[in-house]
Amino acid sequence: MEVCRHPKVLKRLCMNCGQMMDSKYGVAFDYLGRGLRLSYEEIARLKDTNSSKLLAEKKLQLVLDLDNTLLHSKLLKDLKPKEKYLKNQTDDMFMIEIGGKLVTIKLRPLVRNFLKEVSSMFEMYIYTMGSRDYAKHMAHLLGKDYFEKRVISRDDSINKEKKSLDLVLGHESGVIILDDNYKVWPDHHKNLILMKIFTYFSRSSKRKSRKKDKLSESDGNGVLPYILTVLREIHGMFFSPNMSRDVRMLLREIRGRILKGCIVFFVDVDENKYQPGISNQAEELGAECTTILDSSVTHVVVTARTKEITGDSVLWAQLEKKILVHPWWIYITYLLWHRQPEDKFPTLN
């Protein structure tokens, strides 16, 4: 039998001619309609038309992760006894029944304001490794008009370990991703703004919860105002004349100015403690990483002044009046898109 090449298939039936199709025809787009599959040509066509439409509206696209990016959730039954009182708080705290289980949810500080502001510049997607049911509830909580059908969950992607922009209807040159997980986007690092992990409830594991860090969001405004500033800047640049119309270039350009002129020397820093690697971060920020300790070095990055580990380089830095700084200086600068004052991040004694 001749197989048709019509663009849309719903529950294995061609939507044009009604013939039964292969279950692997094209790509599944369940988030747009349960059982919907689109041909590759149709996906390309939809990406083209949607991107053109958005350009005319002066909008880009923003793909938002949920967990630890916009909110932190935990099953009620997993809350520690000392946390149980939290469920009675009303401040950006919610309790929702999902699949027969009660889930407590804390929104990241200023998330509602953030979404409202970015919605005028971006068409927004939710993209989560959570279930479809969970994703729908969270979209509802955050404001479902922002997302309409654009809620992609674990149940909508073929690969459970990675996320892909294939399912987003627009050109990759106009898509920015906000996610706290670098590794789930192996093909789209250039589109990614890595988010500082937002946690509110203690971890379920027995591991001791981390000490309050320099940028705890349990009080204060947290990181979203910084991210909003970057998104505004990119949006403005994208739509100005003579600028690159590719957010990947713009992200790189803006990031590359932040530590321009810094020449950093690392002493015994655990490279992999910080995704995507602390020297990668420094380089993306425009700093130059060197392995030669000479007068051109501006910063000696070192966690602690332990003579046995750091050798003479710390002493040298002090004599030469170089800036001694903790790796957190780079890490937080990377996450906030804003050069941090070095004295806020001293090397440990």
- Binder of residue 252, out of Mg ion, Zn ion, none (CB less than 5 to 8 A by kind): none
Question: Smallest Cα–Cα separation from 103: which of 129, 77, 80, 142?
Answer: 77
Q: Are 180 and 198 in contact (CB under 8 A)?
A: yes
SS3 breakdown of the chain: % helix, strand, coil, rounded to 5? Answer: 35, 20, 45
Decide whether 65 or 217 has the Cβ nearer to Mg ion. Answer: 65
- Binder of residue 348, out of Mg ion, Zn ion, none (CB less than 5 to 8 A by kind): none
**Residue numbers 12-51 binding Zn ion by CB under 5 A:** 14, 16-17
Segment contacting Zn ion by CB under 5 A, of 1-9, 102-110, 123-131, 228-236: 1-9
Please state, in angstroms and rounded to a whole number, the distance separating the CA atoms of residues 130 and 127. 9
Please state, in angstroms and rounded to a whole number, the distance separating the CA atoms of residues 10 and 222. 44
100 Ramachandran zone, left/alpha/beta (phi>0; psi -120 to 50): left
Minimum CB separation of residue 16 from Zn ion in Å reads 4
Decide whether 42 or 65 has the Cβ nearer to Mg ion. Answer: 65
Residues forming a β-bridge with 291 = none
- Binder of residue 68, out of Zn ion, Mg ion, none (CB less than 5 to 8 A by kind): Mg ion
**Residue numbers 169-208 binding Zn ion by CB under 5 A:** none
Binding mask 203-242 for Zn ion (x = CB under 5 A): ----------------------------------------
175 Ramachandran zone, left/alpha/beta (phi>0; psi -120 to 50): beta
Determine, following the binding rule CB under 5 A, whether residue 1 of this chain makes contact with Zn ion: no
CA dihedral sign, ordered 123, 129, 134, 138: negative
Decide whether 3 or 44 has the Cβ nearer to Zn ion. Answer: 3
- What are the tokens at 316? 């040298």
Determine, following the binding rule CB under 5 A, whether residue 4 of this chain makes contact with Zn ion: yes
Determine, following the binding rule CB under 5 A, whether residue 278 of this chain makes contact with Zn ion: no
Q: What length does the chain have?
A: 349
- Binder of residue 67, out of Zn ion, Mg ion, none (CB less than 5 to 8 A by kind): Mg ion
Minimum CB separation of residue 89 from Mg ion in Å reads 23
Segment contacting Zn ion by CB under 5 A, of 2-10, 108-116, 228-236, 319-327: 2-10
158 Cβ contact partners less than 8 Å away, ≥ 6 residues apart: 28
Decide whether 14 or 317 has the Cβ nearer to Zn ion. Answer: 14
Minimum CB separation of residue 80 from Zn ion in Å reads 56
Decide whether 4 or 228 has the Cβ nearer to Zn ion. Answer: 4
Q: Are 33 and 67 in contact (CB under 8 A)?
A: no
Minimum CB separation of residue 178 from Mg ion in Å reads 10
- What are the tokens at 245? 């119309």
Contacts with Mg ion, residue ranges (CB under 5 A): 65, 67-69, 180
Decide whether 65 or 172 has the Cβ nearer to Mg ion. Answer: 65
Other C-beta atoms closer than 10 Å to the C-beta of 346 total 13
- What are the tokens at 343? 């004295």
Minimum CB separation of residue 35 from Zn ion in Å reads 15
Minimum CB separation of residue 34 from Zn ion in Å reads 19
Please state, in angstroms and rounded to a whole number, the distance separating the CA atoms of residues 282 and 334. 8
Minimum CB separation of residue 70 from Mg ion in Å reads 9
Cα 213 to chain centroid, rounded: 20
Minimum CB separation of residue 40 from Zn ion in Å reads 15
- Residue 312, classed as helix, strand or coil, is coil
Residues within the interface to Zn ion (CB under 5 A): 4, 6, 14, 16-17
